Amino acid sequence: MAKILITGGAGFIGSSLAIQLIKQGHNVAIVDDLSTGKKDYVPREASFYKLSILSKKLDKVFQKEQPEFVYHLAAQIDVRVSVSNPDLDNSINVLGGLRILENCYKYKVKKIIFTSSGGAIYGDASEIPTSETYLPAPVSPYGINKLAFEKYLRYYFEIFGQKYISLRFANVYGPRQFKGGEAGVVAIFCHQAVNGQPLTLNGDGSQTRDFVYIDDIVKALIVGMDKDYVGELNIGSRREVSILDVVNSLKKAVGKDLVIELRPAAIGEQQRSFLDVSLVEKVLGWRSEIDLEEGIKRTFDWSKDNI
């Protein structure tokens, strides 16, 4: 049993991780300011601190909890917000991350597991699928700041010996991802389908992504804590799909045709994003198991009960 601190633990990914860690017998504490997370998502077995990662009170949480491992998930997660307000994105995703990192070193945390972004960091990559050796070229402040914090992680490891692993996620989806908080395209589409609304499609739907179901993501996070590996790893599904493929999978889950409302393409949106996961399969022995059709069906079924 380990003592584990999760920042952003009231969110979609963080709460799903917390539940699984508690099932495994670990002692879990959560820090979340509830700006996008939900208090209802916090497991009752976890200690909870309603706190921004920019707060000076963070030191007292580390002092009290003395975590052995820290999962750093708290972030400004909306690419569009980062474009309109890069200062905000930088303050949370870089300066807030540094507060976490400084406390990890100060309180002798064994390892920090960081949730990064494969698609946002690589930008419009010419190498598809994109490997970890590809030169990052982020096209949004969100991607820039995720990459910047990875560089700080490397610095703290090289200079101070602070161990870390950075998991560069593809597009994560599944139950608990809700519209208005941490919604990705699958969550938005499911919400619209459940409520009988048209699916709002930015662009023509030909843009491609790499969708990974939440259960697979949680497994990767837990293996990332257990394995003695330092560096960056892509976490993807081994399948490149278009947004129209997502629409068609949702149609199957719903059991009827769906109305599509076309909108202009979003500013700064990538046309293709697909990650090479051969390295993570080799060093962590991890690979995704839930395919898109099954994952969307599970997500839609959850959405029907959580309108």
Tokens at 228, concatenated: 């003695």
Residue in 174, 202, 187 with CA at minimum distance from that of residue 271: 202
DSSP string for residues in 3-41: EEEEETTTSHHHHHHHHHHHHTT-EEEEEE--SSS-GGG
* Helical packing angle, 12-23 and 214-226, nearest 10°: 60
Residue 167 pairs in a beta bridge with: 115, 233
Query: Which residue, chain included where needed, has tokens 């921004």?
Result: 52
Give 68's contacts (C-beta < 8 A, 6+ positions apart): 2, 3, 4, 109, 110
State the CB neighbour count (10 A cutoff) for residue 24.
Answer: 12
Instruction: Tell me if 170 sits within 8 A of 209, measured CB to CB.
Output: yes
Residue type for 67, please? Answer: P
**Which is the catalytic residue, given 41, 49, 142, 213?**
142
Chain-centre distance for alpha carbon 156:
22
Tokens of 154: 């490397």
Residue 215, exposed/middle/buried by CB under 10 A (0-12, 13-18, 19+)?
middle
Per the omega criterion (within 30 degrees of 0), is the bond before 67 cis? no
Closest of 302, 281, 272 to residue 187, by C-alpha: 302
Type of residue numbered 237? S
Q: Please indicate whether residue 213 is annotated as part of the active site.
A: no
Catalytic residues: 142
